[in-house]
Chains A and B, each alone.
Chain A
Amino acid sequence: EDKVVQSPLSLVVHEGDTVTLNCSYEVTNFRSLLWYKQEKKAPTFLFMLTSSGIEKKSGRLSSILDKKELFSILNITATQTGDSAVYLCAVEANSGAGSYQLTFGKGTKLSVIP
């Protein structure tokens, strides 16, 4: 059974701190790993990673994938209160029925204190 494990499950930091969120996975027929940010509504897409060692960056957020060790990290530098959210890691895999469904971790709840 496909499995995605995120750590830590929750994290409280002060504004300006840098945080690293972890995601490890065990998946058959891996295709890609995705990061989403979920506030009270829809998970919003952050990154999609398919190749090892290539960092993706968007503003203060960056992410990298290690397909040999089966993990990814999401870094947020100079955190702001608006970064407070649940960060979801998901792995896309071929189910065999052609669906390429996502298997999610439980998420990391990040709280940024002013």
Chain B
Amino acid sequence: GAGVSQSPRYKVAKRGQDVALRCDPISGHVSLFWYQQALGQGPEFLTYFQNEAQLDKSGLPSDRFFAERPEGSVSTLKIQRTQQEDSAVYLCASRQTGEYSNQPQHFGDGTRLSIL
């Protein structure tokens, strides 16, 4: 597609429910990143995929957070047993290459997650 596409745009869930957020990166982009953006803050790194391999998950805040990219394109971020502090905008970004090469990350519009 022309840009990074995320769905749903908004998600409301009750505390304790599981949620799944989807990211469809720019076609052919090797690298895929997930970020979490709290209100009034800059995005914070969660995890990174190079093709289907999850090379860095150092930013995932707990073992309730899980991400996958099984075929090296679409990615899903899953949050189990959601808690109120999980409320944030979840941004996905993709980059054309796997290694640093003067290519910027391009972001999707994000999913705004609200936990009641």
List residues of chain A with CB under 8 Å of any chain B CB. 4, 31-32, 34, 36, 41-45, 48, 50, 88, 90, 92, 94-95, 97-107
Pick the residue among A4, A94, A95, A100 that contacts B42 (CB under 8 A).
A4
Say whether B105 faces chain A, with CB atoms less than 8 Å apart. Answer: yes
B23 to chain A, nearest CB (A): 12
Do the beta carbons of A104 and B43 come within 8 Å of each other? yes
With a 10 A CB-CB cut-off, give which of A31, A88, A94, A102 has the most chain B CB atoms: A102
- Which B-chain residue is minimally distant from A6 (CB atoms)? B42
Which residues 40-54 of B have a CB within 8 angstroms of A?
Answer: 40-45, 48, 50
14 A–B contact pairs at CB < 8 A?
A34-B105, A44-B107, A48-B104, A88-B43, A92-B100, A95-B48, A95-B58, A98-B50, A98-B55, A101-B45, A101-B48, A102-B35, A102-B105, A103-B45
Complex Cα spacing A5 to B108, Å = 24
With a 10 A CB-CB cut-off, give which of B42, B44, B48, B93 has the most chain A CB atoms: B42
Do the beta carbons of A107 and B42 come within 8 Å of each other? yes
Given known pairs A4-B42, A106-B41, the reply for A34 and B104 (CB within 8 Å) is: yes
Q: Which 4 A-B pairs have the closest CB atoms?
A: A104-B42, A99-B48, A97-B56, A99-B56
Do the beta carbons of B48 and A97 come within 8 Å of each other? yes
- The dominant DSSP class at the B interface is loop
Complex Cα spacing A88 to B35, Å = 14
Say whether B110 faces chain A, with CB atoms less than 8 Å apart. Answer: yes
Q: Which residues of B contact A95 (CB under 8 A)?
A: 48, 56, 58
Say whether B99 faces chain A, with CB atoms less than 8 Å apart. Answer: yes
